């Protein structure tokens, strides 16, 4: 008897679930919008959740869906939830820039109570707090600040050069290295000294606490990959599932380290004009000007900003640098042209390296721009319609559909970068696309490795400076070639929502000093 009742209830629940999903999955059909056919339960996220596809390739497949060809956008389902993926550059411009105030928040979420370092940092904060925190952090990236940072970054660059010169050589005057980790040692030291006034000494201590914890933060296991899928695509479930952007162990390291640095700087009264000074100013303003909304620039809110600068500051740049070196190893003529540009520049400056010299390296800029086209750090940009509940955003004249408040909207960065309509022969590494003459011809809002609009990456200029100094100091005495362990083409790690090469980047490094 009880078994029959239980079975009947289970069947009833299954039927109700089927009816509910059938209704939900007809949402785009009811609104006359082209859409990608969903799978039961998971919607269009199946390849990502099964880790058969990276977020880059999943969004690219949706972007290239045959029925969406020549459409300004395509409907998708995040589990049972309708969302939009944009395809038209003009519509993307409206969402990211022109009508930014109506799409000012990211759709992702973190647990504000259980994961303060994840939820309170600039990447996850929502308006109006995001706008205020960003405005206070922006001065850290002014031209004057970058000029002050330059000697600190260049010193780490010289440490990179010295580290390479000390490497033992084999009979072919070369040695083998995994470049992703090497570049991460460099960028970790740069962020530590520039932002926090700490000498991490990662070249001397590659397993020191800064590098060790940074490595763990970006190690994507199967479980962590699934957690981030929830953070990006089912954000309202994050608090209930106890998911954390920053794991407890790494959160404790970041909290204890940043708190200690803040306290020591306050006690000493020394001004280094770095991120720590800016955060202390935040804290002092809160004391003198109490806020009515309860937001206080102290404790975890300060630590969270330091944490996101640490994590975002070293990972994206180290990946870009190592991928650029990989492409140069595959294209030796391009590598020689770049090394010649570096040699000629150093000859003119008599070996001195200045910010002006770094910024004058035109071909190096083209190399980095093309690397970021092929391998953008984030495969997509997420936004949500930030209008008040009950209101909607009209997509006229593109379509009669109006985006309701709270609906997620995605811009497929990687897919746009790989669209032959905008970048012919997109799989080929062609730095000439970004020559001063041709760069002007690129369709606006089809190239966005750092995002575009008010939500664009705040540290873009610093990232470029850091990458150029690192590449110059690498290539001034060495060049790279493919070796036995080198892969034929980059495989994007399907477990990581942030673009990462699977298995690292192994190259031969040849001792070959430039003559200047």
508, containing H or E segment: strand 506-511
- Phi-psi map region of 185: left, alpha, beta (phi>0 left; psi -120 to 50 alpha): alpha
Instruction: Point out which residues pair with 509 in neighbouring strands.
Output: 175, 480
Nearest CA-CA partner of 385 in 361, 404, 362: 404
Tokens at residue 109, please?
């979420």
Give 35's DSSP letter: B
Nearest CA-CA partner of 334 in 359, 360, 374, 371: 371
Give 98's DSSP letter: I
The Cα 62–Cα 331 span in angstroms is 31
The Cα 409–Cα 423 span in angstroms is 24
Instruction: Point out which residues pair with 174 in neighbouring strands.
Output: 510
Give 38's DSSP letter: P
The Cα 445–Cα 98 span in angstroms is 12
Q: What DSSP assignment string belongs to 262-329? A: HHHHHHH-----SHHHHHHHHHHHHHHS--SS---SSTHHHHHHHHHHHHHHHHHHHHHHHHHHHHHH
Q: Is 343 annotated as a binding residue?
A: no
The Cα 403–Cα 393 span in angstroms is 5
CB atoms within 10 A of CB 395: 18
Tokens at residue 446, please?
């089809």
The Cα 507–Cα 331 span in angstroms is 13
User: What is the three-class DSSP state of 86?
Assistant: strand
The Cα 137–Cα 459 span in angstroms is 10
* Residue showing tokens 């897919």: 415
The length of the chain is 516
Q: What DSSP assignment string belongs to 252-274? A: HHHHHHHHHHHHHHHHH-----S
Nearest CA-CA partner of 145 in 471, 462, 472, 464: 462
Give the distance between the most distant pair of CA atoms in the chain.
Answer: 93
Three-state secondary structure readout of 461-496: HHHHHHHHHHHHHHHCCEEEECCCCCCCCCCECCCC
CB atoms within 10 A of CB 252: 13
Q: Are strands 408-411 and 81-86 parallel, antiparallel or unpaired?
A: parallel
Strands, E assignment, 342-391? 381-384
List the binding residues for heme: 457
List the binding residues: 457
């Amino acid at each position: 008897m009880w078994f029959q009742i239980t079975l009947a209830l289970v069947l009833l629940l299954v039927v109700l679930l089927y009816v509910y999903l059938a209704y939900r999955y007809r949402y785009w059909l009811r609104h006359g919008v082209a859409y990608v056919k969903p799978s039961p339960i998971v919607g269009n996220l199946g390849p990502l959740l099964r880790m058969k596809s990276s977020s880059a390739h999943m969004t690219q497949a949706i972007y290239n869906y045959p029925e969406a060809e020549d459409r300004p956008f395509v409907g998708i389902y995040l589990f049972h939830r309708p969302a939009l993926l944009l395809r038209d550059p003009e519509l993307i411009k409206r969402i990211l820039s022109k009508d930014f105030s109506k799409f000012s928040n990211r759709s992702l979420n973190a647990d504000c109570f259980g994961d303060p370092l994840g939820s309170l940092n600039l990447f996850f904060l929502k308006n109006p707090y995001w706008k205020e925190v960003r405005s206070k952090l922006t001065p850290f990236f002014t031209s004057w600040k970058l000029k002050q940072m330059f000697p600190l970054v260049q010193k780490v660059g010289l440490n990179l050069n010295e580290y390479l010169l000390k490497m033992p050589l084999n009979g072919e005057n070369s040695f083998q290295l995994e470049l992703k980790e090497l570049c991460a040692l460099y960028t970790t030291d740069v962020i530590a000294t520039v932002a926090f006034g700490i000498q991490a000494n990662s070249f001397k201590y590659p397993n020191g606490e800064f590098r060790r914890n940074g490595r763990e933060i970006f190690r994507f296991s199967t479980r962590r990959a699934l957690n981030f899928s929830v953070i990006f695509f089912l954000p309202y479930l994050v608090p209930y599932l106890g998911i954390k952007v920053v794991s407890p162990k790494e959160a404790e390291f970041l909290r204890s380290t940043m708190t200690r640095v803040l306290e020591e700087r306050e006690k000493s009264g020394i001004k280094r004009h770095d991120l720590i000074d800016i955060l202390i100013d935040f804290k002092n303003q809160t004391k003198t000007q109490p806020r009515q909304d309860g937001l206080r620039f102290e404790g975890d809110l300060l630590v969270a900003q330091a944490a996101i600068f640490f994590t975002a500051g070293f990972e994206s740049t180290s990946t870009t640098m190592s991928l650029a070196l990989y492409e140069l190893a595959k294209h030796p003529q391009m590598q020689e042209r770049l090394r010649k540009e570096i040699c000629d520049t150093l000859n003119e400056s008599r070996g001195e390296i200045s910010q002006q010299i770094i910024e004058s390296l035109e071909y190096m800029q083209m190399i980095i721009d093309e690397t970021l086209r092929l391998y953008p750090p984030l495969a997509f940009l997420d936004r949500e319609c930030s209008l008040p509940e009950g209101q909607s955003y009209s997509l006229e004249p593109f379509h009669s559909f109006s985006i309701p408040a709270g609906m997620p909207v995605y811009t497929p960065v990687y897919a746009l970068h790989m669209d032959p309509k905008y970048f012919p022969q997109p799989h080929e590494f062609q730095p000439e696309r970004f020559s001063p003459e041709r760069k002007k011809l690129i369709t606006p809002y089809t190239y966005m490795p750092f995002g575009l609009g008010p939500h664009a990456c705040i540290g873009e200029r610093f990232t470029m400076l850091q990458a150029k100094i690192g590449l110059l100091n690498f290539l001034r005495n060495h060049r790279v070639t493919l070796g036995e362990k080198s892969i034929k083409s980059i495989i994007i790690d399907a477990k990581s929502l942030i673009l990462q090469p699977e298995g690292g980047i192994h190259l031969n490094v040849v001792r070959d000093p430039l003559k200047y």
